[in-house]
Structure 1
Amino acid sequence: MLFIKCDELRPGMRLAKPIYSKKGVLLYDRATVLKDTQSIENIKGFGLIGLFILEPAEPVPPMTADDIEFERFQTVMYNEIMEELQRIRAKGKQEKFPNICAQIIKSYGNLRKKITFQQALRSEEDYIYKHSLNVAILAAAITHAMNVPLSEQNEAVMAAVIHDIGKLTLPTDLQSKQHTTEEERAVIDGHEVQGYPIIDEAFSFQPNIKRACNQARRMLLDYWNGNPIDSQKMLLAAKVLVVAGIFDKETAVRLDDSPTSEVVVIRKMMNRSDVFDPKVVKGLIDSLNILVPGVSVELNSGEKALVIRTNDDDFLRPTVLSFRDNTIIDLSDRRSYGELEIVDIMKTMDNRYVMDTAKIKALGINVEEPNYV
């Protein structure tokens, strides 16, 4: 699979992922062949920075119905959030905001199963909108896993969607920059604070929205600048915003930088319980499919292995199959494998993993069969 910028698309290329309209209508399905220059010009008009393209002999990667719906939902909600944030900046009033948050909670804030969180490729221009959407999806899932009241779940999701509205006035390169200097952080912080009067006006009857945004901002600024951390009086929405925001920021798929794996990010959070509330981090872990059957991992011994059984008690210590000699390693057995641990995840270019279940079953290992479309 290759990522090709729209200006470099050529007739004969095959799409690796579906393309949807702003309303969620399927325009081009997977494996669609770009037959002529007109279809390429049509795609350029969608405002995409590029597409994932299948190599000549590459089969179409399998996707479940949940995978496809997640991508469709992201496309629709990204456009709705972009239009709503621009409207709030211009008029100081919300229009579709409650409905946007209700849709996010309905889709990902009351599920009885974990979700596979797929990151869409983002550019400098669309970073804030896609970040806001993803943080809101994570906030909905985390608060559901924590079994908090609907009112607190709604506050967390609303804060997630609106929290970066002040950053929209930044130069686009600073909106999405992964690693910033202290001077750049001061500039970013100034723009973020300038957005609070807008939040105040649009949410005058919900003061906790601005309060949560401000508390999360101060916490992260102290964290990045190495200052003492005080989280005693923080709202739950603010604690969720900190965890969800950092998780999305560091695992984001960008043109100019490789994403950090979920395992590395969550380990970092678990090592800083003063910044990342352990209950919220657990809510994140309980919401997402991370080290599940089919994921290829790297061990601290240098070995590569395949996860074949999830560990619900400690997701970082599942059962894996070593690629070196086909031995089964149960990392939950600390007496035998106490020194061995997973250090990273290996994924495909579009941040997805695929497992050949037939080969695994041939080894006598029982795994759940994904329901691919």
Structure 2
Amino acid sequence: MLFIKCDELKPGMRLARPIYSKKGALLYDRAHVLKDMQSIENIKNFGLIGVFILEPAEPVPPMTQDDIEFERFQTVMYHEIMDEMEHIVKTHKQEHFPNICAQIIKSYGNLNKKITFQQALRSTEDYIYKHSLNVGILSAMICHSLGVSLSDQNEAVMAGVIHDIGKLTLNAELQSKLNCSQEELSVIDAHEVAGYPIIDDAFSFLPNVRRACNQSRKILYDYWRNNIVDTSKALISAKVLVVAGVFDKETAVRVDDAPISEVLVIRKMMQRSDVFDHKVVKALVDSLNILFPGVSVELNTGEKALVIRTNEADFLRPTVLSFKDNTIIDLSNRGAYGNLEIVDIMKTMDNRYIMDTSKMKALGFSVDEPEYV
């Protein structure tokens, strides 16, 4: 699978992922062949920077119905959030914001199952809007897992979606830059603070939205600058925003930078409980499919292995099948494998996996069978 910029598309190429309109209507399905220049011009007119293309002999990648719906939902909500944030910047008033957050909570704030969190490719121009959407979705799921009140969940989602509105006036490259200098951090922080009067005006009836944004900003500002971090008085919505914001930022798929794996990001969070509340991090882990059957991993010995059974008690220590000698390793058995651990995930370009569940069942393992479309 290759990412091809729109200007480099050619007739005969096959789409690897579906393309939706702003309203969520399917425009081009997976495996659609770009037959002529008109199809390519249509894609350019959708405002996309590029699309994922299948290589000549590559089969269509597996997607479940949940994967497809998540991608459609992201497309629709991205455009709604972009339009609403531009409206708020101009008028300091919200128009559709409560409805946007209600849609996020309805779709992803009441799930009783984990989801595979698919990251859409981002450019410098659309980074803030896609980041805001994903932080809102993650906040909704974390709050549901924590069992907080609906009002707290609503405030957390609102803060997640609106927290970066001040950064829209930043240089486009700084909006999405992952590793910043101390000087750049100060510039970014100043723009974020400059957006708070807008949040105050638009959310005057919900002061905790602004408080959550400010508290999370202060926590992360001290964290990035290696200062002492104090979260003792932070709202639960601020703690959720810290975890959701950093997770999305570091795992985001950028045009000009490779993402950090979910395992590395969560492991880093677990090592800094003074910054990332351990209950909130656990709620994030409990909401997402990360180390599930079919995922290829690298062990600290350098060996490669395949996850064949999850470990709900400690997701970092599942049961794996070694590629080296086909031995089954139960990492939850610390007596036998205490020094062995997963250091990272081996990923395909679009982060999707598929495995033969029938073989796993024949070996006596109980595994979920996703319904691929």
1:364 offset after TM fit, Å? 4.9
Cα distance in 1 between the residues matched to 2:260 and 2:350: 13
Would you say how many aligned residue pairs link Structure 1 and Structure 2?
Answer: 373
Corresponding residue for residue 278 of structure 2:
278
Q: Could you tell me how far 1:69 is from its partner in structure 2?
A: 0.1
Distance 1:164 1:258 in 2: 22
The answer to whether the aligner puts 1:206 opposite 2:175 as a matched pair is: no
Any idea what the Cα deviations from partners look like across 1:162-192, whole Å, max 9, x if unmatched? Answer: 0000000001000000110000000000100
Aligned to 1:17: 17
Name 1:269's counterpart in structure 2.
269
Aligned to 1:370: 370
Q: How does 1:1-373 map to 2 (within 5 A)?
A: 1-361=1-361, 363-373=363-373
Between the aligned partners of 2:145 and 2:320, the Cα distance in structure 1 is 26
Query: What's the offset of the Cα at 1:365?
Result: 3.9
Give the whole-Å Cα distance in 1 for the aligned partners of 2:263 and 2:113: 20
**1:370 Cα shift?**
1.4
TM-score, normalised relative to structure 1? 0.99
Displacement of 1:115 in angstroms is 1.0
RMSD: 0.9
What stretches of structure 1 of length at least 5 have no aligned partner? none
Residue 265 of structure 1, CA deviation: 0.4
Counterpart contact for 2:62–2:352, Cα < 8 Å: no
Q: Distance in 1 between matches of 2:350 and 2:114?
A: 20
* 1:352 to partner: Cα distance: 1.9
Q: How far, CA to CA, are the matches of 2:272 and 2:62 in structure 1?
A: 37
The DSSP-based 3-state class of the residue aligned with 1:315 is coil
Q: Secondary structure in 2 aligned to 1:53?
A: strand
What is the TM-score of this pair, normalised by structure 2? Answer: 0.99
2:367 aligned partner, one-letter code: V
Letter in 1 for 2:353: Y
- SS of 1:132 mapped into structure 2: helix
- Distance in 2 separating the partners of 1:39 and 1:344: 39
Q: Is the 8 A contact 2:62 2:353 kept in 1?
A: no
C-alpha separation between the residues in 2 aligned to 1:222 and 1:364?
Answer: 49
Give me the whole-angstrom Cα distance separating, in 1, the residues matched to 2:105 and 2:179.
31
Q: Which 5+ residue runs of structure 2 have no aligned equivalent?
A: none
Question: How many Å separate the matches in 1 of 2:279 and 2:190?
Answer: 30
Using the alignment, how far apart are the partners of 2:260 and 2:21 within structure 1?
29
Deviation of 1:358 (Å)? 4.1
- Structure 1, residues 318-359: CA drift from partner, whole Å, max 9, x if none? 000001111100000000000000000011111222223344
State the 1:232 CA deviation: 0.8
**How many angstroms apart in 2 are the aligned matches of 1:77 and 1:186?**
30
Secondary structure of 1:257 counterpart: coil
Distance (Å, rounded) in 2 between the aligned partners of 1:355 and 1:95 = 45
Give the deviation of 1:159 after TM superposition: 0.1
Q: Distance in 2 between matches of 1:36 and 1:358?
A: 41
The code of the aligned residue for 1:56 comes to: P
Separation (CA, whole Å) in 2 of partners of 1:102 and 1:145:
17
Q: Output the CA distance in 2 between the equivalents of 1:65 and 1:323.
A: 30
Task: Report which stretch shifted further, 7-16 or 344-353.
Answer: 344-353
Q: CA shift at 1:360, angstroms?
A: 3.7
State the distance in 1 between where 2:360 and 2:5 align: 36
